[in-house]
Amino acid sequence: MRLLKMLTTKELENVIMKYIKDFEEITNRKYTINFKENMANGADGTYVFSNYQGYHYVDSERGIEITHKITDDVFEISFWTLNPYIIMISFEYERANRKKGTNSREVALNKQLELWGMLGDNFRKRGEIEVSEVLKANPL
């Protein structure tokens, strides 16, 4: 565990929402992330919060945690939180710009890297790692 002071949930929300705002402008849509620990009434969605264990990323469906990852790295929690939106935007882009004879996954994956690049070199490099892992498991 790092010895640096952990951000509060509110501070973490401020960091992540700066990135989300950029994508809301690009897509003209609002993205919902619950920045709280309490999954009230088992509501579905993404929950991001900070506590004594670290930064948490939780996806919940039908009141059940589907994913629960913990890190002490603000960059990593930001990446985890943004990744589903980047993927969604990239495949929406591919569908809107589909051309006969092109590989739709390749177009979407390249768009993902472009979007990560908009957030900086570190995000692009992390996105390249993610895309590489996807291609290892499911080659074009």
Model confidence pLDDT, tens digit, residues 47-89:
999 999 999 999 988 878 899 999 999 999 999 999 999 999 9
Do the domain assignments include residue 79?
yes
Q: Hey, which residues does 48 pair with through a beta bridge? A: 57
Domain count across the chain: 1
Task: Supply the range of the domain harboring residue 114.
Answer: 9-137
- In angstroms, the Cα distances linking 74 to 32, 41, 56, 89, 138 are 19, 28, 10, 23, 29
Which pLDDT tens digit goes with each residue over 8-57?
999 999 999 999 888 788 777 787 888 988 766 667 889 999 999 999 99
Structure tokens at 3: 């010895």
